[in-house]
């Protein structure tokens, strides 16, 4: 059985495993680091004004509530149908919007590296660009590199550049979108599981085609080619640019080059939001316990169980779910809805551990805004 399972996973799928896990871990820690920076800014502001508002939030962070969690699968379904029926009409606009978002997201991904490179030779003072705003040298460098990468991707259409842009989108979404509670997490992931299963398994019976697979794999016209045709620049101008596979997925070629392994960024981002939530909760609980002089957990739970973090438990579940989805796709030789495997393997161990450790009730309903908590932990 072990050799059989190994034969069902090739090098492209191993690359997908490693990259998706690294993106989730990196995005989660970037999110936690943003929380620390916001807390430090609030402390500085409170020391200057003599007051502290524990309920203030960063405007750039979007928190998903219960209503949004319920309607997100419906909105995703509508968008999928629009792309399925009207792709030829909206492909240029969609490509341009995706390129702009990917540019901003990849600049966010490169920012820590650029800050490290520019720190010795450049002060962190912001440079004014009039109505465009004020930016540091590191922000300008990361944005310039991101624009360069997007332009090269448009000219070449290489899968590796598309993957880089998709990685930036994954990290930015995990870092800037938050799940406030376990209840919202369960609503969102359960709804997306139904969405994924329906559009992969049952859409062919209604639309005579697998809607999810067709939209994910359909290439778009290159904007340079469209522009040359609109402006009548001649038959040789812009005609040699390739069609673009949009960065809504990660793709890796197999060792033989006969096929590509593909994983949608939604299958990384949505479980990644859950991983980000439990990482923040682990840190929140650790700080709360240190303030209460390390109060022990429930008496029926061993000390070793208390030391197991929710983040590690859920991350292992994500890996096992991704491995199961990959093996299932190779056995059935057909596309599989990854969330069908990822959601149970992440949510069920998390719910079980939270129940055993006595944290389920607190995690279920906005644990970071508990009235009994110290104000320094309210902002996450």
User: Is residue 196 among the annotated active site residues?
Assistant: yes
Quote the pLDDT of residue 370: 47
List, for residues 179-197, the tens digit of each pLDDT value.
Answer: 999 999 999 999 999 999 9
Catalytic residue (one of 267, 282, 291, 359): 267
Q: pTM for the whole thing?
A: 0.86
Q: Which stretches of the chain drop beneath a pLDDT of 70? A: 1-11, 44-59, 122-124, 232-239, 255-259, 291-306, 369-380
Tokens of 85: 């029926």
Indicate whether 111 belongs to any domain.
yes
Helix H segments across 119-247?
137-156, 159-176, 182-197, 203-207, 211-217, 223-230
User: Is residue 267 among the annotated active site residues?
Assistant: yes
Indicate whether 340 belongs to any domain.
no
* Other CB atoms within 10 A of residue 228 CB: 18
* DSSP code of residue 247: S
Phi, psi values for residue 270, rounded to 5°: -65, -50
Indicate whether 56 belongs to any domain.
no
Indicate whether 214 belongs to any domain.
yes
Quote the pLDDT of residue 247: 87
Q: Quick check: 137 and 122 in contact, CB under 8 A? A: yes
List, for residues 321-364, the tens digit of each pLDDT value.
Answer: 999 988 888 888 778 899 999 999 999 999 999 998 888 999 99
Three-class DSSP category at 135 = strand
Quote the pLDDT of residue 225: 81
Catalytic residue (one of 10, 35, 163, 196): 196
Indicate whether 25 belongs to any domain.
yes
Indicate whether 145 belongs to any domain.
yes
Indicate the pairing of strand 260-264 with strand 249-253.
antiparallel
Query: How many domains would you assign to the chain?
Result: 1
Quote the pLDDT of residue 280: 93
Quote the pLDDT of residue 175: 93
d(CA 329, CA 338): 9
For the chain, the farthest-separated pair of C-alpha atoms sits apart, in whole angstroms, at: 79
Indicate whether 272 belongs to any domain.
no
Indicate the pairing of strand 177-178 with strand 62-63.
parallel
* Other CB atoms within 10 A of residue 333 CB: 6
Three-class DSSP category at 237 = coil
Quote the pLDDT of residue 310: 93
Range of the domain at 255: 1-42+61-121+132-261
Indicate whether 26 belongs to any domain.
yes
* DSSP code of residue 242: P
């Amino acid at each position: 059985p072990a050799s059989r399972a190994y034969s069902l996973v090739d090098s492209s799928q191993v690359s997908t495993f490693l990259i998706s896990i690294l993106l989730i871990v990196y995005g989660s820690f970037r999110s936690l680091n943003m929380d620390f920076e916001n807390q430090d800014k609030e402390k500085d502001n409170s020391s200057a004004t003599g007051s502290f508002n524990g309920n203030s939030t960063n405007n750039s962070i979007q928190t998903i509530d219960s209503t949004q969690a319920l309607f997100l699968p419906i909105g995703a379904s509508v968008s999928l149908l629009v792309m399925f029926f009207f792709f030829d009409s909206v492909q240029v606009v969609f490509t341009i919007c995706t390129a702009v978002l990917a540019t901003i997201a990849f600049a966010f991904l490169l920012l820590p590296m650029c800050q490290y490179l520019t720190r010795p030779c450049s002060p962190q003072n912001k440079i004014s660009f009039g109505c465009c705003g004020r930016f540091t040298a590191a922000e300008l460098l990361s944005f310039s590199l991101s624009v360069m990468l997007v332009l090269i991707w448009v000219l070449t259409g290489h899968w590796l550049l598309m993957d880089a842009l998709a990685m930036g989108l994954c990290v930015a979404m995990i870092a800037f979108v938050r799940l406030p509670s376990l209840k919202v997490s369960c609503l969102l992931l359960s709804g997306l599981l139904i969405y994924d299963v329906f559009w992969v398994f049952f859409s062919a019976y209604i639309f005579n085609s697998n809607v999810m697979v067709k939209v994910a794999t359909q290439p778009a016209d290159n904007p340079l080619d469209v522009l040359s045709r609109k402006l009548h620049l001649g038959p040789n101008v812009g005609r040699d640019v390739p069609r673009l596979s949009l960065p809504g997925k990660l793709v890796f070629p197999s060792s033989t080059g006969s096929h590509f392994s593909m994983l949608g960024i939604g299958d990384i981002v949505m479980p990644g939001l859950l991983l980000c939530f439990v990482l923040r909760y682990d840190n929140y609980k650790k700080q709360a316990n240190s303030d209460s002089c390390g109060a022990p957990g429930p008496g029926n739970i061993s000390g070793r169980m208390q030391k197991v973090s929710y983040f590690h438990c859920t991350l292992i579940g994500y890996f096992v779910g991704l491995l199961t989805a990959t093996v299932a796709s190779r056995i059935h030789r057909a596309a599989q809805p990854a969330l069908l495997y990822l959601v149970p393997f992440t949510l069920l161990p998390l719910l079980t551990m939270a129940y055993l450790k006595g944290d389920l009730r607190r995690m279920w309903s906005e644990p970071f805004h508990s009235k009994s908590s110290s104000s320094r932990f309210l902002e996450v």
